[in-house]
Amino acid sequence: MPPATLHQVPIALGDRSYPIVIGTGLLGAASTWSGLPKAAAALVVTNDTVAPLYLAGLQKALAPHYRAVHTVVLPDGEAHKDWQTLNRIFDALLSHGCDRKTVLFALGGGVVGDMTGFAAASYMRGVPFVQVPTTLLAQVDSSVGGKTGINHPLGKNMVGAFYQPARVVCDLDTLKTLPPREFSAGLAEVIKYGPIADMPFLDWIEADLDQLLRREPAALARAVQRSCEIKAWVVGQDERESGLRAILNFGHTFGHAIEAGLGYGEWLHGEAVGCGMVMAAHLSQRLGLVDDAFVARLTRLVQAAGLPVRGPAFGADRYLAMMRLDKKAEAGDIRFIVIDAPGRAAVRPAPEAMVRDVIAHCTA
């Protein structure tokens, strides 16, 4: 089947603007990769799960555009989102004598995208890169908006850069091979866009969840497109997260605490965000912003999407300690993304006792 571009979502950031291209059959088509910055060489970064599925196809499609297409295959998983693994990208670039026009391609999920993006931001102080997300989570969230980075033993994504890709290519075909657990993790970030920005989108997700879970192309296209539109709208107004952009972190303060508290890699990021959204909804309810019915509705949908709705019981102290290390914290005060009203989010502090109550209520 010939490639089909179903939709293009522009990200408007002045001279750092770029398109998100959404469609089918894109990855293996040479035409997908036209019009990128000129260079002698490309480096495709991927992981050992994705490589057997898509690396050869992408390499072949890139071949007409570059004299050399190098590759580096990293170990899969959040546990490897560290300096040692990042350094393998620099090793590959330098051992191939790659110059500062070399274009990097991030073929994989959020971890590959974040690490490749940070490598691109840092190699010779910046080379172009292209996001080729192959997971639902990466297509609807992490590949868009220019957040890149690695984890530090004391905190997730603590070392990184704001660095925009030259293009994002979302090939919906790649979602077919995703394990169910990872697909559900991606749905967490899709669901997120409803309560923070677009309740009719939440209505649609609820109504068509079965089609989504069956990965019907039309449903996938709509989920990816609308998610990217909302993310593009937010990032276009606040690239460096000085304000509005923080709403995209709904569920992430509790979620990061779960991930860090258990050790990275125990829960998938999307699983932690799914559960984190339920906890943040409870907090919003206790702050008098939303009603019980809203909390129950969001909890039902998160659960129906195949995601956990109860957090691990490692104690409120540990949750709070992890949240104080969150990047959104300021001078030790934890700030939460809460739902101000269905379809609208805001950043607010919350009394510690209330947060402890929510943790006690929502953990197994």
Binding site for NAD(+), residues? 76-81, 110-114, 134-135, 147, 156, 174-177
Known catalytic residue at 125: yes
Residue type, 223: A
DSSP assignment of 181-201: HHHHHHHHHHHHHHHHH-HHH
How many whole angstroms separate alpha carbon 351 and alpha carbon 213?
Answer: 38
Contacting residue, 13, 79, 158, 166, with a copy of itself by CB under 8 A:
158
Residue type, 138: A
Q: Is residue 95 near a copy of itself by the rule CB under 8 A? A: yes
Q: In the block, which residue shows the tokens 């669901």?
A: 191
- Give least dist CB 40 to a copy of itself, A: 4
Q: Is residue 8 near a copy of itself by the rule CB under 8 A? A: no
Q: Is residue 94 near a copy of itself by the rule CB under 8 A? A: yes
- Give least dist CB 272 to a copy of itself, A: 19
Known catalytic residue at 245: yes
Known catalytic residue at 65: no
Q: Considering only 28-36, 47-55, 175-183, 330-338, which stretch makes contact with a copy of itself by CB under 8 A?
A: 330-338
Known catalytic residue at 189: yes
How many whole angstroms separate alpha carbon 128 and alpha carbon 165?
Answer: 7
Taking Cα atoms as reference points, which of 160, 94, 169 lies closest to residue 130? 169
Q: Is residue 87 near a copy of itself by the rule CB under 8 A? A: yes
Known catalytic residue at 192: no
Contact 143, 165 (CB under 8 A): yes
Cβ burial of 260 (10 Å; 0-12, 13-18, 19+) is buried
Cβ burial of 363 (10 Å; 0-12, 13-18, 19+) is middle
Q: Is residue 40 near a copy of itself by the rule CB under 8 A? A: yes
Q: Is residue 329 near a copy of itself by the rule CB under 8 A? A: yes
- Give least dist CB 134 to a copy of itself, A: 24
Q: Is residue 252 near a copy of itself by the rule CB under 8 A? A: no
Taking Cα atoms as reference points, which of 195, 231, 194 lies closest to residue 212? 194
> Residue 31 or 95: which CB sits closer to a copy of itself?
95
Q: Is residue 331 near a copy of itself by the rule CB under 8 A? A: yes
Q: Is residue 97 near a copy of itself by the rule CB under 8 A? A: yes
Q: Is residue 209 near a copy of itself by the rule CB under 8 A? A: no
DSSP assignment of 49-64: TTIIIIIHHHHHHHGG
**Binding positions for a copy of itself, 100-129, rule CB under 8 A:** 100-101, 121-126
Coil vs helix vs strand at 170: strand
How many whole angstroms separate alpha carbon 226 and alpha carbon 91?
Answer: 38
> Residue 6 or 121: which CB sits closer to a copy of itself?
121
Known catalytic residue at 256: yes
Q: Considering only 25-33, 86-94, 251-259, 306-314, which stretch makes contact with a copy of itself by CB under 8 A?
A: 86-94
Catalytic option among 245, 259, 271, 282 = 245
- Give least dist CB 238 to a copy of itself, A: 13
Contact 205, 223 (CB under 8 A): yes
Cα angle at 79 between 110 and 227, to 5 degrees? 20
Residues designated catalytic: 125, 147, 189, 231, 241, 245, 249, 252, 256, 269
Residues that bind a copy of itself (CB under 8 A): 40-41, 67, 83, 87, 90-91, 94-95, 97, 99-101, 121-126, 147-149, 152, 154-155, 158-162, 240, 324-325, 327, 329-332
